[in-house]
Amino acid sequence: MTYKVIMDTDPGIDDAAALSMALNDPQIDLQLITAVAGNVTVDKTTKNALTIDNFYGKHVPVAGGAKTPLIKEFEDAARIHGASGMAGYDFPEPTDKAIDKSAVEALHDAIMASDEKIVLVPTGSYTNIALLFIQYPEVKDHIEKIIAMGGSLGHGNMTSAAEFNVFTDPHAAKIMYDSGVPIVMVGLDVTMKALITDETLETIDKFGRAGHMLHEIISHDFDHNENGTAVHDANTIFYLLHPEAYTTKDYWVDVVTDGPANGETVADVRGAYHDGKTNASVCVDVDAAAFNKWFIDEVKNFKD
């Protein structure tokens, strides 16, 4: 089975890993890459998306998007990903340029032109998606589902409550979760379990230029503990291809947009507040060994 996919992203080390999988896996027909401000500013995330695209000799269209969140002040994560967003490897300059469309226009045109429904995979803040749904609500019927990295059921990595992607633009996250489009939430509940082990890193380093590049940037990621490194965004692609590796629960997920819990994703775990309705399938557990095996197999099969 082949999936028609659009990635909305803010590369970012873990975004670069997710893009690597999406660009190279034969089951994925990547239609478009859109960039958003998040890990670093949007000029850098756009360049980084082009860089990864061209690194593999691909020419998937890339469009730059939102420079700032809808309302909240922008706060990046350069402390984790480095000033460029993809520290740790000396990439050649990309040869392609971003297309002459905004991310919202490019998303609209690609979704509406597709002969089958699109799987939308956001791995950064959701600003572009919120703007798309505001300006072109008709696209919702043409999206099969959204597989979104972000959120959590009880702990954050920006505050004790909020995960980074949702914290970056909580108002956009609320618009996305209230959109009615089927959503899979791939949050910290699983991405902090599916760590890339040091053994996996040493293994992929043997797999040519691409394996070495991924080894270098992931090794530079400071989201690391004694069990391995969190490559959060790659979980979206693993879920797309292997949903059986995840345990999910259906909840209504609300997004807090102000106060000390700004950016928190709150699941109605008792089904008490939304008349039994749900708006997201939330990943709550993952087969971490299968994730590592898949990661190794994917990189091993990349064409240098």
Residues shown for the chain: 304
In contact, 151 and 252? CB cutoff 8 Å: no
Radius of gyration of the chain (CA): 18
> In this structure, what token pair is assigned to residue 151?
């959120």
pLDDT score at 196 = 97
Residues serving a catalytic function are 232
pLDDT score at 77 = 67
Ordered alpha helix ranges (H), 56-102: 78-81
pLDDT mean values, one per 10 residues, the chain (304 residues):
95 95 97 93 95 96 96 77 82 95 98 97 98 98 98 93 96 98 98 97 96 94 86 98 98 97 96 93 98 97 78
pLDDT score at 118 = 98
Q: How far is residue 220 from each of residues 35, 224, 269, 295, measured CA to CA in Å?
A: 22, 9, 37, 18
The reported pTM is 0.96
Residue 3, H or E segment: strand 3-9
> In this structure, what token pair is assigned to residue 66?
């939102």
Q: In what order do the strands lie in the sheet with 118-122?
A: 62-64, 28-35, 3-9, 118-122, 143-149, 183-186, 280-286, 246-251
pLDDT score at 221 = 73
pLDDT score at 19 = 98
pLDDT score at 50 = 97
